[in-house]
Chains A and B, each alone.
Chain A
Amino acid sequence: MEATGFSILTAIIFIPIIAGVVILFLDRKNRDLVRGIGVTAAAAVLALSLAVYFGYDNFVKAEGGLIDRQQALLEAGGELSGAQMFADALAFEQRIVWVQSLGIAYHVGVDGVSAPMVLLTGMVAVAGVLISWNIQDRLREFMAFFMFLVAGVYGVFIAVDLFLLFFFYELAIFPMYLLIAGWGWVKLREYAAMKLTLYILVGSVFALVGAVAMYFAAGAFFTGAGAEVFQAAVANGILPPDSGAYSWSILQFTLAAEHGAFAFDILGIEGLSFARFWFPFMFMGFGVLAGIFPFHNWSPDGHVAAPTAVSMIHAGVLMKVGAFAALRAGMQLLPDGAETHLPWMVFLTLINVVYGALIAFRQRDFKYVIGFSSVSHMGLVSMGWATMNLTGMTGAGLQMFSHGAMTALFFGVVGMVYDRAHTRDIPSLGGFMKVMPWVGVAFVIGGLTSMGMPGLSGFIAEFPIFQGMWAASEQITLQFGAFQLSNYYSVIVILSALGIVITAAYVLRVAGQVFFGEFDAERFHDVGNIQMTDRIVLILLGAPLIIIGIYPPIMAPMIESGIRPLIALLGGG
């Protein structure tokens, strides 16, 4: 563990918070200043995020960097320690003890999975501020809440303390509720905001209960049977010297999980270990936010009701928060549970992929199409997690970034069309390529990404996921009492290909009906081309899709290095 001074990550969290607080105290009429502070803060955060991303990239790829170290470990053979590898993978760390008696610390850092998410959040933050440039109603409050939202999202990605993770998780939900209820689409906003908040809070409460249970289980383990493990870890520097047996540190939970702290049976039922019991609560509790079937229904309503910037951050980043937390707090801390439960949960992800696409196919409302497409695409992320192998999970990590940028781009496009046409009814639009060529091209690029076109990031993500599914097919067997199912991952991957076909169908249908065809020059006589800020949004979100699509080494090795500790925890090679 490195010595921890001030970390750039701390700046990333506090800049938006400070900007938000400052904005709240400004004069409401001084719109330029509000916007100026907003965009400056977002740009600063994006710049710092880029620094983190490429800094971490260097940390991974440098001579003797993380990849080399992991390679050496693999070549040396023997038992791999996931906790050790995770500790080794963390960079940009800062740790301050917060509540010593409870083992809570302000501990932040990034690994290969979270570094791309940090970059994604920065991109979407800037795009969100720019696209909200012309909000008329209470711009000051909007901007401030948006800043708090950004800070909360960042916090989840960089938290290395489970308590801190929960803290930021809730911090993100609260402004989200206000933004949707206050600035959303009048017809739906109160219902949608309430629905969203209830779903997510209920999910996180289950997860929190699970986390508390883990806290006590791990503490008991380290004071009892695992005392030696604990001392050894402190001596090796995996854990900081001032840690107690009872701690919220994710590192410490990982260590406990690896040494069987969660393997004891509970409720007096043989075979029902602690990990197996709590995994569904942890994974699904956060998985709600990733839109896992059947807990996805908050998301399309929420996306549609939210103002454009919020839809962007909501679908682009917040759903990744769910998938990320499910990985970090679910799979990483309860790997035994993952091995038991993911083999059946993979069916839910299949439903996600096909079902979301089918519903998107039937929508008349432009925004609902994109909303349900997110449900479908996030299903691929969960499917990637469910492969539990390096290839598939790396693909899922890539899909998180790819989908984040793509769907934010989509919502930006929808917003730009809606702001000018004042309708989202797909059949009544048409020919917008003529008047908004930039937006049309952006939609086509996003659409091609979403249908997995090679040369764009969607393919780079989907290919490894399918690859991983195929490889997992021979390894994973579903055991359910006497009932046994094997080799079914290959069937699932074939069925999920159906989702990709339907995706192509609805993307092309929307592109055809909105951007192609005759333009109704009389009805949309006041529709004009977009302004500069909108163009920046389109470029900011569209360019990464192409860059990663053409040159995946800019992201794939990093994510892979972040997945390797998990593979070690899951007992793979």
Chain B
Amino acid sequence: MDLLNDPHMLPWLIPAGPLLAFLLISLITNKSKLVAGNSHHDFNANHGSYPGLMVPVVHPASRVISVIVGLLGVVAALVFSWLTLAEASQLHHLGPEVLASDIAWMDTGATAFHIGVLIDPATVIMLIMVPIAVLMIFIYSIGYMAHDPRQARFFALISLFAGAMLTLVVADNLLLLFVGWEIMGACSYLLIGFWFEKESAYKAAIKAFTTTRVADVVMLLGIVYLYSITGTLNFRDIMYNPEALDLLATTTPIIFGGWTVSAASIIGIFLIIGTVGKSAQFPLHVWLPDAMEGPTPVSAMIHAAAMVSAGIFSLIRLYPLFAAGGDPHHGIMTEPLAFMAVVGAFTALLAATMALVQNDVKAVLAYSTISQLGFMMAALGIGAYIAAAFHLITHAFFKALLFMAAGSVIHGMEHGEHHAHEHGDHGHAEGHHGGEHFDPQDMRNMGGLRKTMPVTFWTFLIGGLSLAGMPIITAGFWSKDEILADAWLVLDKYGSGAHALVFALLAVAAFMTAFYTMRQISLTFAGEARSEAAKHANLGQGIVSFTMTLPLLILAVFALGAGFVGVPTDFPVFGAIFSPEYNNFKHLMIEALPLTEATAAFASLPDYHAKPPPFHIVPVATSFLVALGGLWLGYLIYWRKPLKAGETDPIVSFLGPLHAVLQNRYYLDEIYIAVFVKPSQWLAAQVIVFLDRGIIDSFLHIIARIFTWLGDLIKVLNLWLIDGVGDGIPIAIFSFGGWLRRMQSGRVQQYLLLVLAAAVIIGLALVLSAGAATTA
């Protein structure tokens, strides 16, 4: 096959597998049978019961086939990714040379719009991470969704999700990237609202989609504007082409032109706003915590492997555009860079504070995702392009691990709850949670799970330590440290304010991260069980347990080991071991940027290949201090003195009134409703009542009344003047009507129609007869 032999065509096949799996499952294998809807017991608690109603439940056979098809799709993606990586490694110099091919897709004016695939260093790192993480999520889903009546649909949608992500990764232009981006948005909507009977689920889905849509529309405007200046959306033609970058950096924009910004800045900010929505940055972060209403594998997909990573990834792709016109490594910021630095650093801290007080095991992770994405955004803002990419990869591994481990905890708790109900003392169980619906996600109900779920505990611990940045042994340390090192370098040398802000806020946020991670681990796993469910929590035996454990073990390896590819060369001891010649990750990644020789001729462009920061004690010491300090403090408060049943969390009294503010997410949801939602509803209501029905329609009605009045007047005149003459005509019509009545039922419409039909038949005769007589 030609497709397989030409390495430039190979990347096309990467997203093909999951996309094909989506089609196959949704069109062929998604067969269901109708089952009485009151057999609630068979399903898990996420589905309503419908007495007397037949509801579709996926057929056992198609359940198995869907799983196999879905899994095969991802395995195919993984295999083709590796083949592609092997081909890419054969290239003489990846970066200046790439694997790429394209086809004409849409005509816009004189030139056809091409879409295609591109394998450059930025794609390579994503192709290492995404397929592995996605495959783990798929394997995990087999167990997690095993009892769901819509399992086949789940696998169809999550395959589409994976396919869209891979499309985005291999896209060679902004439009195809946007296609993948938006399909992911739609998938997230359908998957967050997967249990659509739950009001909270579909509301979360709507919130997620609407919030990201707002940002996406702004992004689309940025894309359109970029296209109208450069005439292309191809990454290589813009981002690797100094002439295009220079043009963008020196063009005065057609809007906001008076603000002395360049077109590159306006476009850059528009595009960044897209990521602010997608990667859940302040002020558009509100959707992500609610998004955990979806099944847990979906959360892992959104938080780690796909959705939010896509936002940062596209910024990494577009980085040269943002930096054009400035030089972050010498403290010269452009508007987009400053925007990213401020938004990212602020979000990192804001989300970390909210994560401190969460009681829901998934909510802590959700806020930590927002916070960590803030780290990456801030890193991009200060020009630490490679550190951001590095953190993106390590974060994806440990966050996928943490989410799935948390899912195992929830699953185990549900299991324990069933067990307590069936075998335990019912009265006791009821009394325990006061008749309220039992929440298997509330950490206050947990405790002591390390004994019943040891594998989950150890893997969760590894993920948590990596998130906290536990020095040396975890991947999270190396990537976080690099961000701080980059910030410190410029702060130290040029006294840049943005870099100082980023350094300070991120250090504080990192400290909080370590603390809340330890709090979470302790509350969940330490001490004694605080509920019946927790006492009996386990994953059971068999395929469910196996498929939910295996991915955790594999990801744990990455959560520890992935950091060693990016150890700085001059780091004491470890530099010599892991990076004797050069920092592997940096060495690869830097080639995604335009070459120094090419940009040297343009005054507006910085040198993208700036040297890596030399080893400096301050940032490293800071990294050590915040990680160990936070972990130690958490250990002291929560692990040493585990919470007992009925006890209040010490953080409540410590934070005082602030606790309520944090727990309510700074009341941002309420503020948004008051500031945006209510006024727009009010405006819409006014438009209807006042303008549409009030002015436009009543104008028409007044005219109608005038004409009616005129008509009455004429009618009166008619009575006097024309009656005599007119009398004869109605009589004639009457007799004509009587003749027609014999033919048909006598409706007025039909009289008119007969006249019409006659006209048409005459016309038709003309057409047919004149065929020959027609002149050319």
Contacts and interface: CB of A to CB of B under 8 A. Distances in A.
A359 B696 CA distance: 14
Interface stretch (B422-430, B592-600, B629-637, B748-756): B748-756
A471 B110 CA distance: 14
Given A195-B700, A455-B183, A525-B52, A6 B688 contact: no
A106 B763 contact: yes
Contacts of A473: 254
Given A508-B189, A512-B206, A552-B105, A4 B688 contact: no
Could you say which interface size class chain B belongs to? 35 or more
Given A240-B776, A454-B178, A521-B50, A557 B193 contact: no
Nearest to B691: A355
B196 interface: yes
Interface stretch (B133-141, B220-228, B601-609): B220-228
A262 B209 CA distance: 51
Interface in B106-126: 106-110
A516 B681 contact: no
Given A358-B684, A455-B179, A509-B206, A557 B107 contact: yes
Contact of B255 (A6, A433, A491, A525): A491
Interface string A496-539: 01001110110011001001111101000100000000000000
B766 A96 contact: yes
Contact of A497 (B181, B185, B217, B255): B217
A470 B225 CA distance: 7
A345 to B, nearest CB: 17
Nearest to B167: A455
B774 A467 contact: no
Contacts of B683: 358
Given A444-B190, A470-B228, A362 B109 contact: no
Interface string A472-499: 0110000000000001001101100100
Given A6-B771, A444-B190, A294 B684 contact: no
Contact of B196 (A500, A517, A560): A517
Interface in B666-695: 680-681, 683-685, 687-688, 691-692
Given A297-B692, A391-B108, A497-B221, A141 B749 contact: yes
B4 interface: no
A487 B228 CA distance: 14
Contacts of B48: 431, 518-519
> Most chain-A Cβ atoms within 10 A of its Cβ — which of B224, B680, B685?
B224
Contact of B684 (A361, A431, A491): A361
Contacts of A259: none
A24 B750 contact: yes
Contacts of A355: 687, 691-692
Nearest to A361: B684
A553 B106 contact: yes
A268 interface: no
A433 B196 contact: yes
Contacts of A474: 254
Given A242-B775, A508-B189, A517-B197, A556 B51 contact: no
B219 to A, nearest CB: 10
A451 B217 CA distance: 10
Interface in A442-468: 444, 448, 451-455, 459-460, 463-464, 466-467
Contact of A453 (B175, B182, B685): B182
A497 B684 contact: no
Contacts of B685: 362
B254 A434 contact: no
A362 B688 contact: yes
Contacts of A171: 756
A21 B704 CA distance: 34
A344 interface: no
Contacts, number: 204
Contacts of A516: 193, 196-197, 202, 205
A7 to B, nearest CB: 9
Interface string A273-296: 000000000000000000000100
B613 interface: no
Contacts of B175: 454, 463
B532 to A, nearest CB: 29
Contacts of A547: none
A40 interface: no
A504 B210 contact: yes
Contacts of B227: 467
B218 interface: yes
Contacts of A525: 52-53
Contact of B764 (A14, A497, A517): A14
Contact of A434 (B55, B209, B225, B750): B55
Nearest to B257: A487
Contacts of A552: 105-107
B775 A241 contact: yes
Contacts of A361: 680-681, 684
A509 B50 CA distance: 24
Contact of A490 (B254, B688, B763): B254
Nearest to B754: A24
A98 interface: yes
A5 interface: yes
Given A178-B749, A241-B775, A106 B228 contact: no
A294 B108 contact: no
8 contacts: A21-B760, A97-B770, A241-B775, A362-B684, A452-B220, A470-B228, A474-B254, A512-B193
Given A24-B750, A74-B110, A434-B50, 11 more contacts: A6-B771, A148-B756, A195-B700, A240-B776, A362-B681, A455-B182, A470-B225, A497-B218, A512-B193, A553-B105, A553-B106
Of all A-B residue pairs in the complex, the 10 with the closest CB atoms, nearest first, are A516-B196, A454-B179, A516-B202, A362-B684, A504-B213, A358-B684, A521-B53, A508-B206, A3-B776, A96-B770
